[in-house]
């Protein structure tokens, strides 16, 4: 439990509290950010984790968000189009990996092996970014991968592998890192990697603009970036 | 209560439940409704939903009805515990329920491994897995309502049947079951409704493949996640109408005569 | 077939401890106050309420003996039960109700229908064959219940106040039908009732059950003439006193002395009819040996007679003509003398 | 039924429900259980879960009980429709339910806007929003069980009370309610259990803020999302134990006397 | 206070159409067969079953008049009802049950307890004050129900077969208590029953309800002596024939001629007592003018008498001594002659 993102106030009572709406896939990164921010900006962040789309719906419905951190550009784009957020900045990138059972019993070495007979592959459904990236990758390589299930998110795809139901899936490197010993990662060549970026933006309706801006600034600062890197993220280009 | 008080509170209750549904109706884009629903996936998912929810109802009845009967009519040590145990799937967050099902009936699970080794049959990623997940979540409804019905029914007719030479099986089918039929109908409707709306346990345990395990709630969720909210709402609306139709159709049997 | 039972059980606040023998082709009435355990006894015989100890033997076969671990389930005992309420199956028509037992015992659908139709005819209800229980009157429902039970040709017939829920007029007809059917019926019959008229009409022997115990049993005429408990006396309409006899005089309850025509010694019962009691405005002179002074505590007309409740050294009920009520100007609370002739008093050992 | 058949089927039913729970127990890492549960967040979430689920129960009772009473005792046009309508939240996938709630009670929603403009009070991202979401999903349970209880109770005692001079309110509190208390207890337990396990509608409508709207099921979900499955299982286990305790504790009142 | 009602309603298969007046401080018994609508009438008066038309007036105030839109709810009518079953509140003790009405009408907790304790004492049940209804016997429960109703001091008292569920012995005591309490009670009383003894004990006027209609009403003695329907005749134990009189002879039902002592013309009723009928093995000679030949269709003993059902040109019941049964060797189905003296026959216009 120690790695769980926490709302525990770690600074003096004078710290400004802001609500950060963050994609659930960023839970791993948030720990680092919380600690770093408390130290640097004097800002106390409370996270509201959920699916990116749910968060967008909530903000569209007037939810009191100060900052929005999205798992993809499309969802951030909806808020930009609605004029509800300031210009987003990219604070992290990710890359794809193939997650296999510990020890890689099916000897999967790369995407091509996923098209082999007898290999049970699960993917994310269309519309789920990780799935769309993987499908694009398979398409460009002309791989006829026939998944047995199209999961609704990365975690449930990964769970199918860690529980032994499936032999492999394509997820983010950060997910493989977070799963620890329950899975092994098989890297995918950099040439095949899509551009996976995480944008963050201040919500225009914020009542704590200064603190929100400080939070966004610190997200691209050195201290936070080091922790993000430790969680498996790549730095923004 | 003064005559008006319950009426006012009841009306408030109806508004509370009805307003969100009205909200949904408002957001559905009626012009594109037809085209969105005629999409092959929507049709397949709805059909699969009906199949799996009816299958789940069958499983729930097959095991839940005897269980309810035993809980109502037999005394045995630990009955209170069993009674509470059976309700737990209602408390469990569905996703955790799905994980628990994986542990039990997955390919590496307690019973699943055995099943796979013996028969090569796998529940996960199979329509039968979706049925299982829905049955797990919805069976408590059947057990609770059926037990109450068995417990509260007038048993004097059963005694009369015994004195006429009817053995336990004959009594059960010809006397007990007809007597509890209205209550069972209501319980079955609840069970079926819950199975139809099941999402978390199904996706976690059975996965999501169109035509195999992708029921309407899964498709709806995916539509929402991928920003196709209007499609999701249209599908939800259809799901609601189908179940409303069934529930209103059952109104005569519903909780006995109205 | 014969029925013989030694029942011992506890249920709720009741301890039931009763021995009972009903010969082949005999009819026994079980009478007793509310809560005496009559229904419970009948249920125990039918296997609906378990025994704690004792045994039940039907036609020579032991069907219940907890000590020996024997407990034949109800449906295999071939006991027919007519309950206090009709207990018809609400979802079946009259005809289907009667056919139920035949079907349960393996008759084909056609056989069962034919048999049921015959029985409905026999109880005069062919015209309601297609109706549901809710559409029947109380009397009709109880007839269907009777037909349903008789149709299964049980070895032993148990009836629990079969007329209780039926009104006075319908009761006479139903009693008539019951008499006919019970006469034709070839096995042992046990009729629970707390109505003496019903007992007299339907049985030749009486078993009196009070508070879970058999307090008296015997032929109808004997129990009627020589009650052995206040309840029986009340039921058969006699005045009953308990006392100690020495020769021709009995010292009863509160010290009153009763003269009798028979000589006995020791604890006795003294019984006499209400219409053997004469009431007087003044202390009577004459041959009556038993004269008590007291008050009228209640008075009510019954046809051309009036029943008068008298309270003095002994409490008793007198039956006098309506004329006498007027002549004596009897009224509640009034002071009167009651007299009974020694020859009108029946005395027998307690 | 031959005596053994229902017992065997019932046992199978118990295994079906029990095995996944056993599976959960097996996976919980008992050694680290203590430390995981003593984490501040887990404690806060559990406490919040209890508060909000009891709050939801209160809301469900406040509106659902009169509604059940009206459905059971009054005849009015459209009663069958209302009866079915009230059950729909059970069919609706919870996430869609959450969206529908946003449309109705969100700050820009049908009623929410009004509420906000008039009082400045916002339900979304408030503990009251979590209560509302849980009540929306769980109220059908209370309405259905309470209606059945009101409908099947012997009304003769109520009539007797009226002849003794007791008006409607006095009758309701002193005669009707005590008579249906056991059935209501059972219904309330189901309602509470469902509210306790609520996830989809809560996270969608009320958000997922620690100490404010983050109930145990939400924290469990988050733990699963961030790869801390064992923590999630430990928390689920606690949730189960708490509800098992309450349900077994209620066993005497459960569906009347056993 | 007085009660006056004109009730018109339909419920289920019943059409109830009855007018009724109960004077101040008067006691009226409503008698009639099962399903006649007695309970429904009482429920309508209490406001538990709505009228379709007509009106109910209690103590001068209109409490029900559907045409005028008046419908005072039950709790405001001050009608006390004792139902056929005790209908006690299971979750309350005897004392709390009796206190219920007092509390409902606004008494403080202490007042209500004191009042209730007094009433329990008065019905002889102080010792069961703390017990729940399940722990009471049928008779005790009905006593508590009576106390509970009387405690509220209703303006009108309605009793629906208050003794029906109580056994014979307890019934006598309870009837005694009811008589006492009803005598002390200052308002109008309406007692539903189908027991003539109960009617006689508790009321001075009778209303006969059959199939939703009042078929006869009047003072007890008149109804008892001159029944106007088969049901009433059966209830009061008279034989009743319907026929057409011309002078001293009446042509009854199937053509039999009955000689009477009174001269009348037109449709009449003919009534005579069962014990006015003499049975003979051979055609009798003598003064009796009315002699019919027929069969014994049923015979059953009742105390020292036997009731014999006779079927011939007229159907009747004869009451003969047990001795006569033996002398005549009467048996079911046997051929006999029945005779009645013209002077024993009561004849009156239909
Ligand atoms: N199922 C039961 N549970 C608890 N107590 C019971 C039960 N059945 C019978 N009793 C007890 O046994 C007593 C006698 O009941 P039973 O019905 O046998 O009397 P009865 O002689 O048939 O009376 P009635 O004339 O009123 O029909 C009851 O008063 C009750 O105390
Ligand atoms: N609630 C009801 N629903 C349908 N039919 C009813 C209802 N109440 C009464 N009836 C009809 O009215 C008839 C008379 O009923 P009621 O109870 O008034 O008769 P009763 O004279 O009191 O008979 P009993 O002597 O058996 O108590 C019934 O047979 C039934 O047909
Ligand atoms: Mg009985
Ligand atoms: Mg009645």
CB contact under 8 A, D17 and B85: yes
> Looking at per-residue confidence, does C236 or E18 come out higher?
E18
CB C18, CB C43: distance < 8 Å: no
Our CA-based measurement puts residue B242 at a distance from the nearest CA of chain C, in whole angstroms, of 30
Per-residue pLDDT, D250:
63
> Looking at per-residue confidence, does D178 or A39 come out higher?
D178
Q: In whole angstroms, how far apart are CA E59 and each of D165, D170, E29?
A: 17, 26, 19
Per-residue pLDDT, E217:
92
Asked if pLDDT for residue A162 goes beyond 80, the answer is yes
Q: Where are the domains of chain E?
A: 3-228, 237-349
Q: Give the nearest chain C residue to B173 (CA atoms).
A: C104
Q: Whose atoms come closest to the Cα of E138: which ligand?
A: 1
CA of E194 to the centre of ligand 4 (A): 9
Q: What is the mean pLDDT of residues E14-43?
A: 91
**Using only C-alpha atoms, what is the Rg of chain A?**
19
CB of D224 within 8 Å of any CB in chain A? yes
> Looking at per-residue confidence, does B56 or A157 come out higher?
B56
CB contact under 8 A, E304 and C273: yes
Our CA-based measurement puts residue C192 at a distance from the nearest CA of chain B, in whole angstroms, of 17
Q: E150: Cβ–Cβ under 8 A, 6 or more apart, which residues?
A: E80, E119, E157, E181, E185
Per-residue pLDDT, D254:
45
Closest by Cβ to D111, choosing from B19, B168, B224: B19
Q: What is the mean pLDDT of residues A93-109?
A: 91
Per-residue pLDDT, A199:
93
Identify the residue whose C-alpha is closest to ligand 1 atom 16: C37
* Mean predicted lDDT score pLDDT of chain C: 88
Residue (of A17, A71, A70) closest to A46 by Cα position: A17
The answer to whether the Cα torsion of C62, C63, C65, C69 is positive or negative is positive
pLDDT tier for residue E212 given thresholds of 50, 70 and 90? very high
State pLDDT tens for residues A55-71.
888 888 788 899 999 98
Closest by Cβ to D210, choosing from A46, A178, A182: A46
Residues in chain C: 350
Would you give the end-to-end CA distance of chain D in angstroms?
A: 22
CB contact under 8 A, D156 and E85: yes
CB of B249 within 8 Å of any CB in chain D? no
Asked if pLDDT for residue A93 goes beyond 80, the answer is yes
CB of D107 within 8 Å of any CB in chain A? yes
Query: How large a percentage of chain C has pLDDT more than 70?
Result: 96
CATH code assigned to E3-228: 3.40.50.300
The enclosing H or E element of C323 equals helix C322-328
Q: What is the mean pLDDT of residues C144-155?
A: 93
> Looking at per-residue confidence, does C311 or C299 come out higher?
C311
Asked if pLDDT for residue A10 goes beyond 60, the answer is no
Per-residue pLDDT, B96:
83
At C13 the three-state DSSP class reads coil
The enclosing H or E element of C46 equals helix C38-46
- Give, in degrees to the nearest 5, the angle at Cα B236 between B233 and B242: 145
Asked if pLDDT for residue A129 goes beyond 70, the answer is yes
CB E179, CB E202: distance < 8 Å: yes
CB contact under 8 A, B19 and D89: no
Per-residue pLDDT, D240:
84
Number of the ligand 2 atom closest to the C-alpha atom of E40 = 18
CA of B172 to the centre of ligand 1 (A): 26
The binding-site residues of ligand 1, defined as CB within 6 angstroms of any ligand atom, are C 11-14, 32, 34-40, 194; E 167
State pLDDT tens for residues C116-136.
999 999 988 999 999 999 888
* Mean predicted lDDT score pLDDT of chain E: 88
B185 contacts on C by Cβ (under 8 Å): none
The enclosing H or E element of C193 equals strand C188-193
DSSP E111: H
**Using only C-alpha atoms, what is the Rg of chain D?**
21
Q: Report the C-alpha gap between D198 and E331 in whole angstroms.
A: 80
CB contact under 8 A, D163 and E80: yes
CB E25, CB E187: distance < 8 Å: yes
CA of E35 to the centre of ligand 2 (A): 5
Q: Which chains touch B (3 or more CB pairs under 8 A)?
A: A, C, D
DSSP A66: S
Q: Beta-carbon neighbour count of residue A214 at 10 Å? A: 20
State pLDDT tens for residues E264-314.
999 999 999 888 898 888 888 766 678 898 988 877 766 667 888 898 888
CB contact under 8 A, B103 and D194: no
Number of the ligand 1 atom closest to the C-alpha atom of C40 = 18
- CA D134 to chain CA centroid, nearest Å: 7
Residue (of B168, B139, B158) closest to B60 by Cα position: B139
Closest by Cβ to C237, choosing from E139, E220, E303: E303
Q: Which of A102, A149, A162 to mutate: most B Cβ within 10 Å? A: A149
Name beta bridge partners: E188: E156
Query: How large a percentage of chain D has pLDDT more than 70?
Result: 95
pLDDT tier for residue A37 given thresholds of 50, 70 and 90? low
Q: Which chains touch D (3 or more CB pairs under 8 A)?
A: A, B, E
Asked if pLDDT for residue E157 goes beyond 80, the answer is yes
pLDDT tier for residue B231 given thresholds of 50, 70 and 90? confident
pLDDT tier for residue C186 given thresholds of 50, 70 and 90? confident
Asked if pLDDT for residue D252 goes beyond 80, the answer is no
DSSP A165: S
Return the axis-axis angle of helices D229-249 and D177-197, rounded to nearest 10°. 180
CB contact under 8 A, B251 and D83: yes
* Mean predicted lDDT score pLDDT of chain D: 84
Q: Report the C-alpha gap between C268 and C129 in whole angstroms.
A: 56
Residue (of A229, A235, A203) closest to A82 by Cα position: A203
Q: Report the C-alpha gap between E183 and E203 in whole angstroms.
A: 10
Q: Report the C-alpha gap between A236 and E70 in whole angstroms.
A: 82
Asked if pLDDT for residue B190 goes beyond 70, the answer is yes
CB C283, CB C337: distance < 8 Å: yes
Number of the ligand 1 atom closest to the C-alpha atom of C14 = 12
Name beta bridge partners: C292: C338
Residue (of A4, A178, A128) closest to B203 by Cα position: A128
State pLDDT tens for residues E182-211.
888 888 999 998 777 778 888 889 999 999
CB C155, CB E21: distance < 8 Å: no
State pLDDT tens for residues C252-304.
877 788 888 888 999 999 999 888 898 888 888 776 678 898 998 877 766 66
Identify the residue whose C-alpha is closest to ligand 1 atom 3: C12
Q: Which domains does chain D have, with CATH numbers?
A: 52-214 (1.10.3720.10)
CB contact under 8 A, B179 and C73: no
- Ligand 2 and E31: CB distance under 6 A: no
Per-residue pLDDT, B29:
76
Q: Report the C-alpha gap between C295 and C332 in whole angstroms.
A: 8
CA of C5 to the centre of ligand 3 (A): 19
CB contact under 8 A, C170 and E200: no
- CA E217 to chain CA centroid, nearest Å: 11
CB of B129 within 8 Å of any CB in chain D? no
Q: What is the mean pLDDT of residues C214-242?
A: 89
Q: Which chains touch E (3 or more CB pairs under 8 A)?
A: C, D
Least confident of B165-169, B193-197, E196-200: E196-200
Looking at CATH, the fold of the domain delimited by E237-349 is given as OB fold (Dihydrolipoamide Acetyltransferase, E2P) (2.40.50)
Per-residue pLDDT, B3:
63
Asked if pLDDT for residue D135 goes beyond 60, the answer is yes
Site to substitute for ligand 2 among E37, E44, E45, most atoms within 8 A of C-beta:
E37
pLDDT tier for residue B250 given thresholds of 50, 70 and 90? low
Q: Report the C-alpha gap between A234 and A199 in whole angstroms.
A: 13
> Looking at per-residue confidence, does A191 or C287 come out higher?
A191
> Looking at per-residue confidence, does A14 or C322 come out higher?
C322
Q: Which chains touch C (3 or more CB pairs under 8 A)?
A: B, E
CB of B156 within 8 Å of any CB in chain C? yes
Q: In whole angstroms, how far apart are CA A169 and each of A24, A158, A164, B124?
A: 19, 7, 12, 16
Q: What is the mean pLDDT of residues E133-137?
A: 84
Q: In whole angstroms, how far apart are CA C105 and each of B166, B170, D185?
A: 7, 10, 43
Closest by Cβ to D164, choosing from E47, E48, E148: E148
The enclosing H or E element of C307 equals strand C305-311
Our CA-based measurement puts residue C270 at a distance from the nearest CA of chain E, in whole angstroms, of 17
Q: A112: Cβ–Cβ under 8 A, 6 or more apart, which residues?
A: A141, A143
Across C304-331, b (16+ Cβ under 10 Å) vs e yields ebbbbbbebebebbbbbeeebbeebebe
Q: Give the nearest chain E residue to D172 (CA atoms).
A: E104
> Phi and psi of E307, rounded to 5°?
-100, 130
| Strand ranges inside C44-187, DSSP E | 53-58, 61-65, 70-71, 79-82, 156-160
Per-residue pLDDT, C210:
93
Across C159-193, b (16+ Cβ under 10 Å) vs e yields bbbbbbbbbbbbbbebbebbbebbeebebbbbbbb
Cα atoms found within 13 Å of the Cα of residue D215, Cβ hemisphere only? 35
CB contact under 8 A, D91 and B189: no
CB contact under 8 A, E46 and D175: no
DSSP H stretches of helix in C137-203: 138-151, 168-184, 196-202
CA of E4 to the centre of ligand 2 (A): 22
Per-residue pLDDT, C347:
92
At E110 the three-state DSSP class reads helix
Q: B68: Cβ–Cβ under 8 A, 6 or more apart, which residues?
A: B142, B143, B144, B145, B146, B147, B149, B150
Per-residue pLDDT, B255:
43
3-state secondary structure string across chain B: CCCHHHHHHHHHHHHHHHHHHHHHHHHCCHHHHHHHHHCHHHHHHHHHHHHHHHHHHHHHHHHHHHHHHHHHHCCCCCHHHHHHHHHHHHHCCHHHHHHHHHHHHCCCCCCHHHHHHHHCCCCCCCHHHHHHHHHHHHHHHHHHHHHHHHHHCCCHHHHHHHHCCCCHHHHHHHHHHHHHHHHHHHHHHHHHHHHHHCCHHHHHHHCCCCCCCCCHHHHHHHHHHCCCHHHHHHHHHHHHHHHHHHHHHCCCCCCCCC
Q: In whole angstroms, how far apart are CA B102 and each of A9, A160, C37, E295?
A: 37, 9, 57, 85
**Using only C-alpha atoms, what is the Rg of chain B?**
21
Asked if pLDDT for residue B221 goes beyond 90, the answer is no
pLDDT tier for residue A41 given thresholds of 50, 70 and 90? low
Q: E34: Cβ–Cβ under 8 A, 6 or more apart, which residues?
A: C137, C138, C139, C166, C167, C170, E194
> Phi and psi of A44, rounded to 5°?
-105, 120
Q: Beta-carbon neighbour count of residue E38 at 10 Å? A: 26
Q: What is the mean pLDDT of residues B130-134?
A: 94
- C237-349 has the same fold as C3-228: no
Residue (of C244, C263, C246, C264) closest to C254 by Cα position: C244
- Ligand 2 and E35: CB distance under 6 A: yes
Residue (of C12, C17, C8, C119) closest to C64 by Cα position: C8
Q: Give the nearest chain D residue to A174 (CA atoms).
A: D226
Q: What is the mean pLDDT of residues D223-227?
A: 74
Return the axis-axis angle of helices D127-152 and B4-27, rounded to nearest 10°. 120
CB D190, CB E107: distance < 8 Å: no
CB of B175 within 8 Å of any CB in chain C? yes
C273 contacts on E by Cβ (under 8 Å): 303-304
């Amino acid at each position: 439990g120690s790695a769980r993102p926490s709302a525990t106030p770690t600074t003096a009572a004078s710290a400004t509290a802001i609500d950060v709406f963050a994609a659930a896939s960023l839970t791993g990164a948030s720990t680092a950010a919380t600690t770093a921010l408390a130290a640097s900006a004097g800002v106390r962040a409370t996270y509201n984790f959920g699916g990116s789309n749910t968060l967008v719906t909530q903000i569209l419905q007037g939810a009191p968000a100060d900052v929005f951190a999205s798992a993809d550009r499309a969802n951030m784009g909806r808020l930009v189009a609605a004029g509800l957020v300031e210009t987003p900045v990219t604070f992290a990138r990710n890359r794809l990996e193939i997650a296999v059972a510990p020890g890689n019993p099916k000897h999967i070495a790369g995407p091509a092996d996923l098209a082999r007979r007898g290999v049970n592959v699960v993917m994310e459904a269309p519309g789920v970014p990780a799935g769309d990236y993987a499908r694009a990758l398979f398409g460009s390589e002309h791989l006829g991968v026939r998944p047995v299930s199209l999961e609704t998110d990365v975690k449930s795809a990964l769970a199918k592998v860690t529980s032994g139901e499936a032999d492999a899936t394509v997820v983010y490197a950060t997910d493989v890192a977070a799963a620890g010993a329950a899975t092994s990662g098989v890297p995918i060549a950099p040439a095949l990697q899509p551009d996976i970026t995480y944008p963050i933006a201040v919500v225009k309706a914020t009542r704590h603009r200064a603190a929100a801006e400080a939070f966004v600034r610190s997200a691209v600062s050195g201290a936070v970036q080091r922790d993000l890197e430790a969680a498996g993220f790549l730095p923004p280009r | 209560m003064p005559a008006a008080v319950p009426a006012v509170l009841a009306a408030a209750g109806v508004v509370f439940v009805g307003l969100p549904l009205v909200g949904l109706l408002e957001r559905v884009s009626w012009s594109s409704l037809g085209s969105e629903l005629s999409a092959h996936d929507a049709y397949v998912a709805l059909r699969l939903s009906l199949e799996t929810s009816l299958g789940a109802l069958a499983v729930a009845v097959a095991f839940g009805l005897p269980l309810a009967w035993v809980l109502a009519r037999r005394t045995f040590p630990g009955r209170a515990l069993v009674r509470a145990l059976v309700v737990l799937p209602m408390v469990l967050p569905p996703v955790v329920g799905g994980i628990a099902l994986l542990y039990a009936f997955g390919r590496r699970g307690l019973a699943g491994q055995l099943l796979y080794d013996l028969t090569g049959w796998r529940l996960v990623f199979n329509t039968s897995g979706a049925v299982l997940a829905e049955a797990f979540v919805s069976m408590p409804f059947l057990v609770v309502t059926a037990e109450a019905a068995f417990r509260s029914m007038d048993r004097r007719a059963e005694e009369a049947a015994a004195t006429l030479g009817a053995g336990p099986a004959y009594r059960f089918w010809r006397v007990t079951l007809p007597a509890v039929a209205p209550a069972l109908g209501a319980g079955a409707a609840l069970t079926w409704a819950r199975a139809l709306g099941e999402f978390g346990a199904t996706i976690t345990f059975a996965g999501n493949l169109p035509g195999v395990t992708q029921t309407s709630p899964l498709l709806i969720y995916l539509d929402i996640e991928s920003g196709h909210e209007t499609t999701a709402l249209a599908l939800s609306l259809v799901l609601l109408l189908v179940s409303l139709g069934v529930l209103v159709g059952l109104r005569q049997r519903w909780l006995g005569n109205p | 077939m014969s029925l013989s039972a030694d029942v011992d059980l506890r249920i709720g606040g009741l301890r039931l401890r009763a021995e009972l023998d009903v010969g082949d082709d005999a009819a026994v009435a079980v009478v007793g106050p509310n809560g005496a355990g009559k229904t419970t006894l009948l249920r125990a015989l039918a296997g609906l309420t378990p025994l704690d100890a004792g045994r039940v033997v039907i036609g020579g076969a032991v069907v219940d003996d907890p000590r020996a671990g024997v407990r034949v389930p109800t449906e295999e005992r071939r006991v027919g039960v007519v309950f206090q309420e009709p207990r018809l199956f609400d979802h079946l028509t009259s005809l289907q109700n009667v056919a139920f037992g035949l079907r349960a015992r393996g008759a084909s659908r056609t056989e069962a229908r034919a048999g049921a139709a015959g029985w409905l005819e026999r109880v005069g209800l062919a015209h309601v064959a297609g109706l549901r229980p809710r559409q029947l009157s109380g009397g009709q429902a109880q007839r269907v219940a009777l037909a349903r039970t008789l149709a299964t040709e049980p070895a032993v017939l148990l009836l629990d106040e079969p007329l209780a829920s039926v009104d006075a007029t319908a009761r006479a007809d139903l009693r008539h039908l019951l008499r006919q059917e019970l006469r034709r019926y070839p096995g042992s019959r046990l009729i629970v009732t707390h109505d003496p008229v019903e007992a007299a009409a339907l049985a030749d022997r009486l078993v009196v059950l009070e508070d879970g115990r058999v307090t008296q049993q015997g032929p109808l005429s004997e129990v009627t003439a020589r009650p052995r408990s206040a309840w029986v006396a009340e039921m058969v309409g006699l005045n009953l006193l308990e006392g100690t006899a020495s020769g021709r005089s009995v010292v009863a309850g509160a010290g009153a002395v009763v003269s009798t025509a028979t000589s006995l010694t020791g604890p006795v019962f003294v019984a006499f009819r209400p219409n053997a009691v004469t009431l007087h405005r003044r202390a009577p002179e004459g041959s009556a040996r038993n004269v008590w002074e007291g008050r009228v505590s209640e008075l009510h007309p019954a046809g051309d007679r009036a029943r008068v409740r008298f309270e003095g050294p002994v409490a008793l009920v007198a039956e006098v003509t309506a004329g006498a009520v007027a002549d004596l100007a009897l009224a509640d609370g009034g002071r009167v003398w009651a007299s009974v002739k020694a020859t009108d008093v029946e005395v027998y050992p307690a």
